[in-house]
Chain A
Amino acid sequence: MIVYRYVAEALFYAFMILTFMGAFMAVRSQMLMHAVVGLAVSLLGIAGLYFHLGSPFLAIMQVLIYVGAVCIMIAMGIMLGNTPRQIAEKNLKGRNALLAVGSCAAVFVSLFVVLAQTGFAPAAERVGDMSINFVGENLLLQYCLAFELISVILLTAIIGSIILGRGGRDGAVK
C-alpha cells in the first residue's frame, strides 16, 4: 500500500516539472508556435495537479477546454495573422532583462512572505464531497444564475468574434 503513495508522489513531481518546463518554454521561446506548445504542455501538467487535488472532473475539463480548445484557437490565430518577420521575437537583454526578472521576483517574494506569515485552518465541518454529483447539484441549484451568465458570456463572445472576424457590422470584408 505504501508503494502507491510513493508512485503518486513521483507523479506529482513529474506534473510539477511538466508545468514549470512548459511555462518556461512558453515564456522564453522566440517562435510563437513553440510558445503555444509550451502552453499546452504546462496546462497538461496543471491538469495532473488537479487530479492530485482530488478532482478528476476538473482534470478532464482542463484537458478538454484549455488544451483542446484554447490552445488550438491560439494556434489558429498565429497561423491566420502572422508574417515571417514577427514570428521570431528577441528576448530581453541587459538592463531590461534584469528589470523584468527583478520585478517578477519582487512580486513572488512579497507573495511568499504573506504566505509564510499566514496560517490556513481547515474548515470545522465539511458538507458533501468532491464528486461530480455534488458539483452538479450545486451548479444547478445554488449557482444556477452564475452558470447561466457564463453561458450568455460565451454566446456573446462567439457572436462578437464572428462579427469582428467578418470585418465589422456591415459584414464587408475589405
Chain B
Amino acid sequence: MIISDNLNTYLIIAAILLVIGLYGMIQHRSLIGMLISSEFLMNGAALNFMAFNTFTAPNPAVGQIYTLFIMGLAAAEAAIAVSIIIVVYRRFRDEDPAIVQDMKH
C-alpha cells in the first residue's frame, strides 16, 4: 500500500510526534529532558507545515520558509535554555525543577 503520498499520513505522524513530546514533558524530571521533549513538539509543528505545503498550499515555498523559521527559533530557544540550565545548575547545584521553582526569598 502506497501511503507516502497521502496528506493524512504525515498529519498523523506529526500528531504522534506532538503526543510523544507531551509525554516526555510529563515524564522527564530534569530541565534538559524537558528541553529535548520540546524539540519534538516543534518538529511535529514543522512537519505539519511541510505536509500542508506539499499537498494543499497554493505557493509551495511558504511552508518551507516557515519550517526554516521554526528551525531558527528552535536553535535560538535551545541556546537560551541551555545557558539558563547551566546558570541554574551553577546556583542551585541541581537541575530538578521542583527545587528551582522557589524564588530567592
Interface residues of A (CB under 8 A from B): 5, 8-9, 12, 16, 19-20, 23-24, 26-28, 32, 35-36, 39, 42-43, 46, 49-50, 52-55, 57-58, 61-62, 65-66, 69-70, 73-74, 76-78, 80-83, 86, 89-92, 100-101, 103-105, 107-108, 111-112, 115, 120-130, 134-135, 137-139, 143, 146, 150, 153-154, 156-158, 160-162, 164-165, 167, 174
Contact = CB atoms under 8 A, between A and B. Distances in A.
Nearest to A138: B61
A131 to B, nearest CB: 9
Contacts of A54: 54
Interface string B32-71: 1101110110010011001111111111111011011101
A101 B68 CA distance: 31
14 contacts: A19-B13, A46-B46, A46-B47, A74-B82, A101-B23, A107-B18, A115-B15, A123-B57, A138-B59, A138-B62, A143-B62, A153-B73, A165-B87, A167-B90
